[in-house]
Amino acid sequence: MMEHKTQRVLLKLSGEALMGDGVAIDSRFLHWLALEIKAVHDLGVQLALVVGGGNIFRGMSSGAVAMERSSADHMGMLATVINALALQNALERIGVPVRVQSAITMPQVAESYIHRKAMRHLEKGRVVVFAAGTGNPYFTTDTAASLRAAEIHADLLLKATKVDGVYSADPKKDPSAQRFTELTFAEVLAKDLRVMDLTAITLCQDNQIPVTVFSIYEEGALAAIVRGENRGTRIGVN
């Protein structure tokens, strides 16, 4: 019998998490990340990933100022597909079964997002990487993560960041900044804490999906959280 209560998890990784010095995708870090993900998969938990594209292109970036927003956002979504393929490769190399499903149809590259098929993959123990965000411009991959978490009935959304949780202020700028161990969605909204964008947060709140914000650089944190240990900041429904 499993010790942990969490059965199905959605992990949101930002594109920047894959970045290395001067390279969009750092293969050594990607391998390390794949091992962290494998540790969760080895627990017998059903695991889905949503990866961002910020290491390659963001629709709202300075490189996109002269562009029509929809085109820029399509470029951003394509960037997430590149990252998803990199993750797929890194996971397969260490023996983790994985499928990429893209919200923008590109059958030569990845499966199309089909909810029932995604559920079947998860039930069979395959990691599913959801690529191309929601498939729509004017959204973020955080919102895509909340949406997919709701669709697959995830019992936890894990948001990997560079810092080890949600702070009262930016810990890099304000040494008195305090890390919250627990918050409610109402507190996140009332305190205007920038955990995820508003659309993403309210989607989780409405669908009662708890979110844990944690540092992707803390070795073993991902599996520890899934086993039920307190790491990072947990945002609960109440």
Q: Does 139 engage in binding with ligand UDP (CB under 6 A)?
A: yes
Q: Does 14 engage in binding with ligand UDP (CB under 6 A)?
A: yes
Nearer to ligand UDP, 7 or 207 (CB): 207
> Could you give the C-alpha distances from 180 to 148, 205, 220, in angstroms and in order?
26, 18, 20
* Terminal CA-CA length for the chain: 28
Residue nearest to ligand UDP (CB): 52
3-state helix, strand, coil in the chain (%, to 5): 35, 20, 45
Q: What is the DSSP pairing of strand 127-131 with strand 111-112?
A: unpaired
Nearer to ligand UDP, 72 or 181 (CB): 72
> Does residue 195 contact residue 188 with C-beta atoms inside 8 Å?
yes
Nearer to ligand UDP, 112 or 184 (CB): 112
- Smallest distance, ligand UDP to C-beta of residue 145, A: 9
Q: Does 134 engage in binding with ligand UDP (CB under 6 A)?
A: yes
Contacting ligand UDP (CB under 6 A), which of 6, 140, 205, 212? 140
Would you list the DSSP string of 9-73?
A: EEEEE-GGGG-BTTBSS-HHHHHHHHHHHHHHHTTT-EEEEEE--TTT--TTSGGGTTS-HHHHH
- Smallest distance, ligand UDP to C-beta of residue 16, A: 6
Q: How many residues contact ligand UDP, by CB under 6 A?
A: 24
Q: Does 84 engage in binding with ligand UDP (CB under 6 A)?
A: no
Nearer to ligand UDP, 76 or 232 (CB): 76
Stretch of 86-94, 139-147, 159-167, 221-229 contacting ligand UDP, by CB under 6 A: 139-147
Give the tokens for residue 41: 């998969």
Q: Residue 96: what are its φ and ψ, rounded to 5°?
A: -95, 125
Rg (CA), the chain: 17
Q: Which residues bind ligand UDP (CB under 6 A)?
A: 14-16, 52-54, 58-60, 72-73, 76-77, 79-80, 133-134, 136-137, 139-142, 144
